[in-house]
Amino acid sequence: MWMGLSYVCWGISVVLAAWMLYDWFKVDTTYSEAVLTSSREGELEAVSEKHRI
């Protein structure tokens, strides 16, 4: 049973790793680099929690 579980673990690892690589490729070819790297630190606070003392 344990050896079977070990093979299942390898299988799941390969499938999920392949899915992530596929999704990575899909996203990188669908969206521009400017959009993907557009996150900015601090803008959340600036927008939704106006800094007042």
Note the residues at the interface with another protein (CB under 8 A).
2-3, 6-7, 9-10, 12-13, 16-17, 19-21, 23-24, 27, 30-33, 35-47, 49, 51-53
CB of 26 to another protein, least distance (A): 10
- Provide the minimum distance between the beta carbon of 12 and another protein in the complex, in angstroms, as a whole number: 6
Q: Please say whether the beta carbons of 24 and 16 come within 8 A.
A: no
Q: Residue 17 and residue 24: Cα distance in Å, rounded?
A: 11
Least distance to another protein, CB of residue 6, Å: 4
